[in-house]
Amino acid sequence: MRVLLAPTGSRGDVTPLVALAHGLQEAGHDVLLLVPAGMTDFVASRGLPVVSAGSDVTALLERHAGSLSDPVAVFKILVRETARELRAQIAALEARAGEFDLVLGAGVQLGASSVCAALGVPYRSVMYTPAAQPSRHYAPFWVPKRDLPQWTHRWLHLLPDAMTGLVALGPLQRWRRAHGLPRVAYPVDALVGERPMLAVDPRLATPAPDVWPPIESIGWLRPDPRNEPGGATLEPALEAFLQAGPPPLYLGYGSMVDADAAGTLELARRLCQAGHRVVVARGWSKAVASPDERRMLVIDGAPHGLLLPRCAGAIHHGGAGTTHASAVAGIPQLLVPHLLDQFDWADRIFRLGLGPAPISRRQLDADGLLAAAARIADDGAMRARAAEVGAAIAAVDAVGRTVQQLERFVLAWHATPATLRGPWSAAAARSGRLARPAPAELRERHGDAVAPLPPLPPRPKPPWLEPPALVVGAGVGAAAAALWFRG
């Protein structure tokens, strides 16, 4: 089977699909990764074939570093960049996708579901948060305040959906019209496609029962440290630091551009003065430490699967990847969310008892950080809970299981009449487009007795058709806008 993996976004969006690509290769499948510029070296260094499409996310984040703590500014940036990225995604996928038996997307991949429907290629999106799909059970992932009344949730989901549809989806709508596909009614549909998957461990989060289309939970796609460029070893300086004293705290903001790198180092020094040892992962920031720092080591980065199990706790931005890596390591974690789904993960980790109350990047100060670090070190119940959850997650081979699920999905997709695969596939089938046949090796591996895909349930009514209808809806919309602009 030939599989095209097309994640967009930062390293956190690419890494899980790199792990899945290695699993697919081990199962005998051919893979190609289509990633944003700036991620090609990362993928190639892990021994995978790769081509680039789209902008360098690192450069984008650096260009807007001063605005990343403002959710309104972040959303405006996303809207402005989406149309440009969409054109690049569509062009690259249209040229490549027809050669493959399966396409997988992740991150802000808005073009692949449409291109694959038009070309008759099985497609699945990989989501890293359940809060991307509208639900009455939780607010959208981008809302910093997570304890809003439940009746506001689906209305809040509509706000960015409507703005994205008006401002950014023009290129996709025009392409769909030219290829015989119906308009995208809700922009989130372009993101999740018809048969999405949730790459989240169910101990940390599960899909809500009212999301559409239903999403299949596959667990966290954990990278194998053996596939890192240096193998299952750490850099000598980091290894020496770890061996020289008790387990340190990990402090790193991943792909976030730190607009106050000097301030971050000063916070790390305050942790050292309080008796902690600290490993600062500078990531994409420009943090530089003085060489005489004895209790602190600044590194460019290190495989989380090798470093975090040897740490006492993790202080990080709250990306899905670092959150899962810290959970697998069995250590408490303090989340310092900057934007988007990081607020959702921060809330979930705190409610699960896996870390102290989160502190947003704008509110982070020395007193709050020192209090949280003290709790990470001294709260025995929290440490025991983190260790218990970590052991349970580590026991699951989500990559191997997902490879088998994808093999069966491709066979089931081919066993399902095109008009029943989903509304977009049905429209493409009526246009006379034919899919490639199912790979013969999958039939040999799984046999021919694979059940067709289950039909998609009816879509839930939009919230404006539910009581209390438009009067309350107008008030909710005004309140949601006020909350959003207040941050």
The string of pLDDT tens digits covering residues 406-460 is: 999 999 998 888 878 877 776 666 555 556 678 888 888 887 678 889 988 888 7
Task: Output the pLDDT for position 228.
Answer: 87
Cis peptide before 213 (omega within 30 of 0): yes
Which of 263, 264, 266 lies closest to 281, judged by CA?
A: 264
Give the whole-angstrom CA distance, residue 183 versus residue 37.
Answer: 29
Q: What is the CA radius of gyration of the chain?
A: 23
Task: Output the pLDDT for position 70.
Answer: 61
Spell out, as residue ranges, where the chain has pLDDT lower than 70: 55-80, 160-168, 257-259, 283-292, 426-436, 448, 462-487
CB atoms within 10 A of CB 276: 23
Alpha-helix residue ranges (DSSP H) falling in 193-281: 236-243, 261-273
Identify the structural domains of the chain with CATH numbers, from first to last. 2-219+397-455+465-486 (3.40.50.2000), 225-394 (3.40.50.2000)
Q: What is the DSSP letter of 38?
A: T
Task: Output the pLDDT for position 186.
Answer: 79
280 sits in which H/E element: strand 278-281
Q: Report the sign of the C-alpha dihedral through residues 239, 240, 241, 243, in that order.
A: positive
Q: Are strands 30-35 and 249-252 parallel, antiparallel or unpaired?
A: unpaired
385 sits in which H/E element: helix 380-394
